[in-house]
Every structure is written in C-alpha cells, then in structure tokens.
Amino acid sequence: MESVRVLLDHYAEPADLDAARQALAEADVDAEVEGGYRKPTPGEDEGVGDEPEWIILILVSSTFGAFFVRFFGEAGADSWKGLKKLAEHLRDSRRRPTGSSIPPSPPHVGAIEFRDQYGNVIKEGLRHEGSAGHDAEYIPPDEFWRAWDHISEPDWSALGGWFVIWDYQRNAWAAFEPGVGSSRAVYWDRSAERWIDYEMHPVASFEPEPPRWERFKRRFQRRY
C-alpha cells in the first residue's frame, strides 16, 4: 500500500497544518502531516537547516509513478489535473497577506517538493531571480503537470538522490547529480528506455526561461 508523509517547515502554524490536511483530504490523499521541518545546511544532517521560506515536502513510500497512479489514476484522461489542483491548494494554504509579520517573508517564496523512496526530488516550485532582482514565485505551466503521465517510464532506481526536472525542449524527464564539483546531467530517452548523458551542460533545456545552469546548480547545492 502506497503511504504518504507530508512535512511542513518550522514556520507552519497549526492552521497551516490543518489547511494542508484539508487539501490532501479533498484530493483523497491519505497522508500523515507534520510540521517543524528544517532544510539541511551544507555539511549537516537532514532537518537542521534554516531558511526564510516555506516548504511542503511530500514523501512517497515507493516511486513517483506508484504515488501518481494510486491517488490520481492511470496516465491519460487528464489525471494530471488532480495533482495540479492539489499542488495549487497546498500552495494557497501557505500564502501570507502582504505585510504579514508571520514568516516566511516574502510570503510568496516557497516550494512543494516530491521525494521518492530512492531520495530523488521533483520540485514543483523553483526559486529564481525575478526581473527586479529578487526572489520571485515560479509556477510551472500545465506542461509540467502533463509530464506526470510519463512519470512511471524512467528507471528511478538508477539515480538515487538526484534532482529531477522536466526538460521542455526534449519533452523528457531530466535529472542532475547533486554534490560539489558534479556536472553530470541525464535525461530519459523514451525510445531507448534508459538515461542518456547530456553531451554538455543543458544550459537552456529545463525551463522555458531558465536561469543560467551553473547558478541553478549552485542554488540546489546550497539547499541540499
């Protein structure tokens, strides 16, 4: 049986936990919801870091595909819309009114993350530089959620602890290896049914308007 555990950051108040539980219940996702989660800081263990933003971490007991099929149905038939709706409701549950004295600040900065049994992480929202030079909210387009129709195809066990994104140019799931000095990135070739190494840094592949690859990679290395 697929089980789900949901962790909210240490800024979350009881009302935030209740709102998350309600959003999950409305989506018929049976999950244990807890608060007090802290991101790890470099060189330290999981759960001890501290960042001024919210996070909702969805831990699934097996694979991304098993989670998707269990709670949202088989690929196709617009099953992805149910997952997108859940993410929207979870994100809305963490918004703060403008000028609120309750962290996180700014109120719109945060992310929903999915982590599978192998430690691979899919981020629903990415922090990136806004046009005004400050952190801005990133909401993925529908294409990202439609990609979950193909979430069962890759061999996720071949990675283990990698950061996963949707490559909009190749229309494929892609991942890069965490760790200082690592530059390995791969994408799932559906015809070959295996992970393929990029021949070079995928500078403009992962997002419609992506940040520079090195800055993008360094940001994740700082966060994990």
**Does 180 fall in a domain?**
no
pTM: 0.77
Q: How far apart are the C-alpha atoms of 22 and 88, rounded to whole Å? A: 13
Structural domain of 42: 4-164
- Residue 28: which of 54, 2, 55 has the closest Cα? 2
**Does 76 fall in a domain?**
yes
- Beta-bridge partners for 129: 135
**Does 20 fall in a domain?**
yes
Highest mean pLDDT among 84-98, 113-127, 148-162, 192-206: 148-162
For residues 185 and 176, the answer to whether their CB atoms sit within 8 Å is yes
**Does 204 fall in a domain?**
no
**Does 197 fall in a domain?**
no
**Does 73 fall in a domain?**
yes
User: What is the pLDDT of the chain when averaged over all its residues?
Assistant: 76
Convert 105-121 to b/e letters by CB count within 10 Å (16 or more is b): ebbbbbbbbbbbbbebb
**Does 95 fall in a domain?**
yes
- Residue 172: which of 141, 197, 151 has the closest Cα? 151
Q: What pLDDT score was predicted for residue 94?
A: 80
Token digits for 171? 């229309």
Structural domain tally of the chain? 1
**Does 194 fall in a domain?**
no
Q: Counting beta carbons within 10 angstroms of the beta carbon of residue 45, is it exposed (0 to 12), middle (13 to 18) or buried (19 or more)?
A: exposed
pLDDT in tens, 59-75: 999 999 999 999 998 76
Q: What is the sign of the dihedral through the CA atoms of 17, 151, 117 and 40?
A: negative
pLDDT in tens, 150-171: 899 999 999 989 999 888 888 8
Q: What pLDDT score was predicted for residue 40?
A: 63
Q: What pLDDT score was predicted for residue 115?
A: 95
Q: How far apart are the C-alpha atoms of 80 and 206, rounded to whole Å? A: 19
